[in-house]
Amino acid sequence: MKVFVVGASGVIGTRLVPQLLERGHEVVGTSRSPEKAERLRALGAEGITLDLLDPRAVRRAVLESEPDAIVHQATALSDARFTRKLDRSLAQTNRLRTEGLDALLAAAREVGVSRFVAQSFASMRYAREGGPVKTEEDPLDPTPLAGMAETAAAMNYLDDTVTDAGGIALRYGLFYGAHNDGLVEPVRKRQFPIVGSGGGYATWLHLDDAAAATVLALDHDGPAIYHIADDEPAPVREWLPVLADALGAKPPRHFPVWLARLFAGEIAVMLGTEARGVSNAKAKRELGWTPRYPSWRQGFAEVYARASVQEGREVGAPASVSSESPVSS
Ligand SMILES: NC(=O)c1ccc[n+]([C@@H]2O[C@H](COP(=O)([O-])OP(=O)(O)OC[C@H]3O[C@@H](n4cnc5c(N)ncnc54)[C@H](OP(=O)(O)O)[C@@H]3O)[C@@H](O)[C@H]2O)c1
């Protein structure tokens, strides 16, 4: 198939493009920057420049490429500052998930693509009641906290719009696997505490596994929503000390809820104490996907040990340091 990947230059995209090519697909990959488009060419894709928020340019690029399939992996999180007003931090990403998606889907309809797969997100979305691990059928949070309502609405819009169009929305877990993973610095600096009992769940996902599942999703008919996440959803009190250890950091601090609320706000408290994890059973069953990194327990150690070797840092890496390909985006 000819696959048009928007966001091909990002942390997922740069892993996805080689995997698509390996699978025998032809790839058109986009970036807003000519330099990154050039790098996509070096990977073996046709690299083009495109701003997803320019609907005319989107229409032109898709009509010119005439792809069989489209993958939407565009987000704008690298420069985002995560504050207690999540909606402000994610405003641009929310536009890419709504306006950007609309432009892409309109063009997709015009050329009659047979497959449409888009990046969605699994964490922070489910109703904070009942068991700790949710399936795709479980209800989403009907009352998102102040400061994240627009973000929740944008993710819901993406899921609904993609599936209404017959496509597949992949609700990814929390990414790790790159040197600039979001939690690396805060955890190294002990700025990410265990809040209260640390019972809020996260479900992690190695970036290579995210790319592999995306390739498989292109072989399947929609509409569908899948959780793409590892096998071990876990509460903060379990994964955070393991992550700190993998990074050679001191153990995380413990904050009472009132203190975390004061310093970090209600969203941080919710994530630390109430958030739900997700089950990957449906993706494994229907996509035939098996994560190469089934648990963050091994994944963190492997990824950050490798990164530390590259950086020449002493981070308490386990002895079984692999000398495989570098971890980078
Ligand atoms: N599930 C998760 O945990 C999750 C999800 C997303 C991101 N993250 C984290 O956030 C950090 C970086 O995120 P990021 O979103 O900046 O990722 P990124 O790795 O830079 O990827 C974003 C992609 O979207 C593209 N993009 C951005 N704005 C665009 C626009 N207006 N039009 C077309 N394409 C556009 C970028 O292309 P150009 O910039 O080349 O134009 C890039 O290819 C990473 O640490 C990542 O792990 C985590």
Q: What is the pLDDT of residues 215-265, one digit of tens each?
A: 999 999 999 999 999 999 999 999 999 999 999 999 999 999 999 999 999
Mean pLDDT of 101-118: 98
204: enclosing H helix or E strand: strand 204-206
pLDDT at position 179 is 75
Evaluate if residue 271 carries a pLDDT over 60: yes
In angstroms, what is the span from residue 77 Cα to ligand 1's centroid? 6
Our answer on whether the CB atom of 280 is closer than 6 Å to any ligand 1 atom is no
pLDDT given at position 323: 29
- Would you give the DSSP letter of residue 145? P
Mean pLDDT, the chain, rounded, equals 92
- pLDDT greater than 70 at residue 308: no
Q: Identify the three-state secondary structure at position 42.
A: helix
pLDDT tops 50 at residue 318: no
Average pLDDT on 117-133 reads 96
Would you say residue 321 has pLDDT above 70? no
What spacing in Å lies between the alpha carbon of 73 and ligand 1's midpoint? 7
pLDDT at 315: 36
State mean pLDDT over 99-126: 97
**217 SS3 class:** helix
Q: Quick check: 31 pLDDT over 50?
A: yes
For residue 78, the model assigns a pLDDT of 77
Q: Is the CB of 51 under 6 A from ligand 1?
A: yes
Cβ of 75 closer than 6 Å to ligand 1, yes or no, is: yes
Tell me how far apart the alpha carbons of residues 51 and 57 are, in angstroms, rounded to a whole number: 7
Using a 6 Å cutoff on CB, does residue 303 contact ligand 1?
no
Half-sphere exposure of 107 (CA within 13 A, CB side): 27
Of 201, 71, 96, 212, give the one whose Cα is nearest residue 138.
201
Pairwise CA distance, residues 297 & 65, whole Å: 42
What percent of the chain lies above the pLDDT cut of 70?
A: 91
Confidence of residue 312 (pLDDT cuts 50, 70, 90): low
Confidence (pLDDT) at 233:
98
For residue 190, give the nearest of 149, 152, 244 by alpha carbon. 244
Confidence at residue 307, expressed as pLDDT on a 0 to 100 scale: 62
Q: What is the pLDDT of residue 181?
A: 86
For position 328, what pLDDT does the model report?
Answer: 31
For ligand 1, the distance from its centroid to the CA atom of residue 320, given in whole angstroms, is: 31
For the Cβ of 203 lying below 6 angstroms from any atom of ligand 1, the answer is no
**Residue located nearest, by CA, to atom 48 of ligand 1:** 175
Confidence band for 276, pLDDT divided at 50, 70 and 90:
very high
pLDDT of the residue at 178: 87
Asked whether the predicted pLDDT for residue 293 surpasses 90, the reply is yes
Residue 200 near ligand 1, beta carbon < 6 Å? no
Point out the least confidently predicted range of 29-33, 37-41, 80-84, 310-314.
Answer: 310-314
Q: Quickly count: other Cβ atoms within 10 Å of residue 191's Cβ.
A: 13
326: pLDDT strictly greater than 60: no
**What is the token pair recorded at 300?**
């963190």
